[in-house]
Amino acid sequence: MKTSIHKRGSGILLHISSLPSDYGIGDLGSKAYDFVDFLKAARQSFWQILPINPTVSIYGNSPYSSSSAFAGNILFISPEGLVEEGWLEKGDLQTKPQFPADKVDYDAVKAYKQKLFSLAYQRFKSQRNKIREFERFCSEQSSWLEDFAQFVVFKKYFSDQLWSRWPEEIKNRKTNALQKLKVQLSDQMEEAKFYQFIFYSQWHRLKKYASQYGINIIGDIPIYVNYDSADVWSHSGIFKLDEDKGLIYVAGVPPDYFSQTGQRWGNPVYDWDQLKKERYAWWLHRIEHNLKLFDVVRIDHFRGFVDYWEIPAQEQTAVNGDWVKVSYDDFFTTLLKKFGSLPIIAEDLGIITAEVSEAMNTYEFPGMKVLLFAFGGDLKTHPYIPDNYIKNCVAYTGTHDNNTVRGWIEHEATDREKGNLWEYLGGEVPREELPWELIGLLMKSVANTVIIPMQDVLGLGQQDRMNLPGTPSGNWRWRLLPAAITSSLSKKVSQLTELSKR
């Protein structure tokens, strides 16, 4: 079951939204190709991104809260690409707002891009010169695309209400009522499908380009899906819902050192007994879909495949819940029969049981080691200290949820952590040099795979972190400035990579 993550390599974590572009948010256009060129020049093997599914304003535009586990985020569609593909003219792009270069203004981007997308769709309808390609896409993706198009169009039609508050016959997907509404809203549904067609066309071109240069893309799957999503509406039977399609239980984690009330995420939990009866059809489809999009897949909250914290939906905190076991062996055996190998990274941060470790070892899934977490305990025994790494792991300075290295040392690290860090390094290091000191530690470690957030490659501070967990707004906005990528930077990364035999 050896895959690219079982070989010695390294890469950079940078989400699509963080790429430079002239249109307010990173996209699948020329700057994405430039970043692939940078990775190649820097001798990297991996480009890790965050989930690329649609984001929702009400959830702070988090890529981990989506209306679909299968659809793509159309904000990542490149306007330049729309011109190259013949859906827009150059003149259509000339009148645009003055977007900030260093942050994403989601509302401004949505307003601007929606006008472009509407123009592109009108041109598509009038030309129809690629209708066969579009129809082929719709046919190949019909297992999710039809439900998704219905969901987004119906949701708008019903004043953006939760799907569980739609008229009963639509909420419960009664065939005649659905068909009648689909006919009424057929043009809007085709428009939603067209946008997905464009997104996937641009995505697969970029992935092909990356593959040509030996760059493996690591994608990201949140284990849970939003309640208000196409997935729960169209596959309600595989979630623990009541007869009225309301939530019975929600997901989260129990109280721990970091939170006295735990974390109540609010996502519906899976009915694993029903999934087993269906031979995990929905999950098989989801994994297959993502393995076509990415070379490697990181699964967020991997522990949920072994056991998960189930909270009664009426509870306001995560205190009163229960651990529920999952027949993970039957599940992963079924996946292996289907796919032969599973290039999966298991997000195993936090409290992990022996059973979770056993599952990861059995199926050779590498776990994650975050260096910023390593200095609060015993340097001799802490699992995140590089001296204690095993080969089959993926090592990070930090993830999208961490501060940057500089932000951590300047604002978060305790006196004990600083003391342990300086002891481990053999002396205090200037703050501006610390990111590369830690990057060097990871690159020289035995870990098969090392992934460094772009912010740490650039030595940026707290103001440039991607996400501050527990805060509802202001996250997922950071962007890479075009001038930050230089030939000297790629040379510096390349030299360390070569020195580290990666």
Three state DSSP letters for 309-361: EEEECCCCCCCCCEEEECCHHHHHHHHHHHHCCCCEEECCCCCCCHHHHHHHH
Average pLDDT, integer, range 318-344? 96
Q: Say if residue 110 is exposed, middle or buried (CB neighbours under 10 Å; 0-12, 13-18, 19+).
A: middle
Q: Which domain, by its residues, includes 399?
A: 4-499
- The rounded distance, in Å, linking the Cα atoms of 78 and 19 is 12
pLDDT in tens, 382-427: 999 999 999 999 999 999 999 999 999 999 999 999 999 999 999 9
Decide if pLDDT at 19 tops 60: yes
| Extended beta strands in 165-289, E state | 216-222, 249-253, 263-268
Decide if pLDDT at 465 tops 80: yes
CATH number for 252: 3.20.20.80
For the chain, how many helices (H) and strands (E)?
Answer: 18, 12
Question: What's this model's pTM, rounded to 2 decimal places?
Answer: 0.97
Cα-based angle 229, 306, 246 (whole degrees, multiple of 5): 30
**Residue-by-residue DSSP string for 20-37:** --SSSS--SSHHHHHHHH
Residues 314 and 247: beta-carbon distance below 8 Å? no
Decide if pLDDT at 128 tops 60: yes
Helix (H, G, I), strand (E, B) or coil at 372: helix
Total tally of structural domains belonging to the chain: 1
* 407-410 CB contacts, 8 Å cutoff, 24+ apart: 407/460, 407/461, 407/462, 407/463, 407/464, 407/465, 408/372, 409/434, 410/461, 410/462
- The shares of helix, strand and coil residues in the chain, as percent rounded to the nearest 5, are 50, 15, 40
- The rounded distance, in Å, linking the Cα atoms of 153 and 47 is 33
The CA-atom distances, in angstroms, between 407 and each of 19, 52, 332 are 21, 26, 39
Q: Which of 70-79, 91-100, 149-158, 187-196 has the lowest mean pLDDT?
A: 91-100
Helix (H, G, I), strand (E, B) or coil at 247: strand
Active site residues: 300, 347, 401
Helix (H, G, I), strand (E, B) or coil at 237: helix
